[in-house]
Chain A
Amino acid sequence: GDSVTQMEGPVTLSEEAFLTINCTYTATGYPSLFWYVQYPGEGLQLLLKATKADDKGSNKGFEATYRKETTSFHLEKGSVQVSDSAVYFCALTTLRGDSSYKLIFGSGTRLLVRP
């Protein structure tokens, strides 16, 4: 079945370091891909998304490119801040039997940025 695999955390970085969180997926058809972020004590917020191959989603300095050939959607940021400390979820939508779309999440990667 369709699935999302992301690197296990926690990922610990110093402020201003480069961030990569790997995400790969398995899906039939043409899924849309998402990164959601969960700050401590809060719900999930959409960080960025890409709906077709080679699209690049970007927001708040984060970027991810939809790579169909490698089935990947890695999250990157050039210079992280302490305020980026959160749990990051990679997700995809997949078609269900009733023609609705279902969101499938990875297990989440915790990022801790130290001053």
Chain B
Amino acid sequence: SYVLTQPPSVSVAPGQTARITCGGNNIGSKSVHWYQQKPGQAPVLVVYDDSDRPSGIPERFSGSNSGNTATLTISRVEAGDEADYYCQVWDSSSDYVFGTGTKVTVL
């Protein structure tokens, strides 16, 4: 089965840049989506197809994907960005797979 590995936590000061990685075998050949989940709430799609943003998502959220690592970048971090973030891909052997999740803490 296909496995996506994320760091358990990332800490960042307000105004700085947070980078959340998602590791998977040759993930650069797949389309990666990213979801934000705040406590007690449903996930929200923040980046799809590696680097596209749904309407209403700030430009501060961006994504990239190459080789064995995809990255979600949050620029000019705000207190409201504190949440869990999950990457997701589709794989022929595993169907839809989510990453292990990363908790972003704003210091």
Are these two chains actual partners, yes or no?
Answer: no
